[in-house]
Structure 1
């Protein structure tokens, strides 16, 4: 494994950070999240036209850039730093890979170029509130989460040759209220041939009602989708292994969310360090107190460990997709996500505490990061179930679990010492005792 970034990857990160820094301050993020669409349409156009971000991981044959999960994760890490509300995750991470993996050639040729150009946004809708289950992140997704032929879920029935009708409801659909295309998971076949299929539902479909839901994290919009005898088109072949495709997308989604969380945790720590350097108490900056240094040193080490896990997961997923390695990639995403969510929750909590009274107010940006940490765990976790599922898939606790399981667990959960850089010096006027965070560690 080569841990160094290529020149192209570095350019993606640098360019995206410049755009995000100019257009995504805390006030701009809040304003964009509170628009009817839930995001800044102008920013989305810029990301698509100038950077090609929606098509970053789409093959060049379909109008994309043809990069791997690693580049997509790096891009989402930068978006995560600012908590920039965009349809990128729902469109490029959840929906587009399913169209690419399962769609017919006609469906790919019609939809993927429009997605890559930023003209079409998409969302994945699964019954109820079972997104983490459907993606195979917290358990086996071959159960009856799509409805199982009983009341509830989303049911699909064949109306005519090649035509289907959907009936049911999905909640917590990320960016579902504004997406131009919905990829809906539904139960088909009744009890005789019970199976889960994916269907394409256009935004103008009759019988579909969509409403934005009040969510803990307003920067990641969610919607309730109600389907009442809605005409739909099956995605790909009716005999496709949908659970396997969803699990593969879940691994990549976990990696991308982990990278987002690392970016958010890094930004939360950065703003907290800047604040404790300036805030004075008892005649000196509070960052000069050893207790504060120790707390932030612990956060820094946790964030760096999470970054290492996220980068490994992104590299492994990209290597596996390219067919030249990536052993254990299917397990790395969930473990990286668990560690990143832990790091974000810790960084956000410490940020709120160390900012004092201002950190508890809605006007300050600290609460946005705390809400993102809590919301992501509700959507994709909880953390202990992410780890339990990864251990289960690796046979970690089976009799004679094997060296491969141990190797994956170690590679995905690094605990090696992390050097603390000198720019995290918290004491602007060194006095007696440790003068820097590095010395405190």
Structure 2
């Protein structure tokens, strides 16, 4: 494994470093959560900037195959892009489109579906997202649970999203020969995405299975998309309601192993999400250190904090720097080799982001209301990322089970999957 960045990857990093960082709103009302201090417009991101990033660094197509208009540069180049956009909390559909949706279309789509969608995604013309019911994105991707357990998509219980074939759909019918009914919450960019990949449950008990469907919002009757107010105001989310909504099956037939494809896509997605979280942690750390140094440069005290307090804060930031760099190494290890415990890398990155963002809020320094707004944006990213892709302890627990570090105990001995045997506690602690 070559751990060095290529000249092209360094070029992507330089191009994205030229983008402006998050800018707090000019008003002084720090407690007002109604204003937009993220730099995003009504869509939740700047469509013009997104198209420029598609034409220049080629963000949405970095990891897509060249035959579909992508650059074919693999997950490491996309990890560099995720780290840099995370560093400035850039509102963009990069995660939803390039990390979650496009790999599934490439893996499961028919030739016609890939030919229609992937070149337009690579060019920035289309955005896409993955919608799963119940806010169970981490389980669907195999990061905190087994996606083969169909309960997360509605199997074996009420709710979820149910799919059924159109009664009069025959071999000569149109592509939208399925109807969807149900709800999906916390869907990234769900209110603006041009293509929705919807996970739904179909079949009775003997043939219960989860499938993926393409929904085109511009022609989907019965689809309601309601923007939510998330903790992370730089990453818009939406609630989707599907009421007898027409959908096209992703793939050639209903026998496709969708849960296996979701689990396979989950490992590289975890590595890319880890890189983004590391970038956000580094951005919060850089800005906190900058405010702290600005406060220390002024004589006397800064905001009521003594010089000793500022020195103590610098020591705490040094510890955070080590933690962020360790998480960064783990994230790129996972990007170079996604099978190498990508879930653990994501857990480490989310934990580093949470700790760094909390310190950004608490540590002394100048900057006034602008600094407080900035710190709150990073703290919101940390909280929302764990809600979507974690929590950290479940990421570690599931990764440990997959690696065989947790043995299945007998009923009543600490529950299913309880750690048993000599050295079990040490093995779990090592994870």
Is 2:373 the counterpart of 1:364?
yes
Aligned partners of 1:114 and 1:31: how far apart in 2? 30
Aligned partners of 1:307 and 1:154: how far apart in 2? 37
Aligned equivalent of 2:41 = 35
Would you say the 8 A contact 1:307–1:340 is kept in 2? Answer: yes
Aligned equivalent of 2:30 = none
Is 2:260 the counterpart of 1:244?
yes
* Cα offset, 1:209, TM superposition: 0.6
Aligned residues: 393
* Cα offset, 1:293, TM superposition: 2.7
Aligned equivalent of 1:278 = 294
Aligned partners of 1:360 and 1:126: how far apart in 2? 38
Is 2:131 the counterpart of 1:114?
no
Matched ranges for 1:150-189 at <5 A? 150-159=157-166, 160-161=169-170, 163-189=177-203
Q: Which runs of 5+ in 1 are unaligned?
A: 318-327, 414-441
Would you say the 8 A contact 1:391–1:397 is kept in 2? Answer: yes
Is 2:201 the counterpart of 1:194?
no
Aligned equivalent of 1:339 = 348
Judged with a 3 Å threshold, the aligned counterparts in structure 2 of structure 1 residues 398 and 128 are, in CA distance, closer, same or farther, namely closer
Judged with a 3 Å threshold, the aligned counterparts in structure 2 of structure 1 residues 349 and 360 are, in CA distance, closer, same or farther, namely farther
* Cα offset, 1:271, TM superposition: 1.2
* Cα offset, 1:358, TM superposition: 6.1
Aligned equivalent of 2:359 = 350
Matched ranges for 1:9-408 at <5 A? 9-18=9-18, 20-21=19-20, 25-27=23-25, 30=36, 35-143=41-149, 144-148=151-155, 150-159=157-166, 160-161=169-170, 163-204=177-218, 205-236=220-251, 237-280=253-296, 283=300, 289-317=310-338, 328-329=339-340, 332-355=341-364, 364-398=373-407
Aligned partners of 1:355 and 1:179: how far apart in 2? 40
Aligned partners of 2:170 and 2:73: how far apart in 1? 38
Would you say the 8 A contact 1:348–1:370 is kept in 2? Answer: yes
Judged with a 3 Å threshold, the aligned counterparts in structure 2 of structure 1 residues 64 and 388 are, in CA distance, closer, same or farther, namely same
Would you say the 8 A contact 1:359–1:366 is kept in 2? Answer: no
* Cα offset, 1:284, TM superposition: 5.9
Aligned partners of 2:371 and 2:233: how far apart in 1? 12
Normalising by the residue count of structure 1, what TM-score does the alignment of the two structures yield?
Answer: 0.83
Would you say the 8 A contact 1:184–1:198 is kept in 2? Answer: yes
Would you say the 8 A contact 1:91–1:121 is kept in 2? Answer: yes
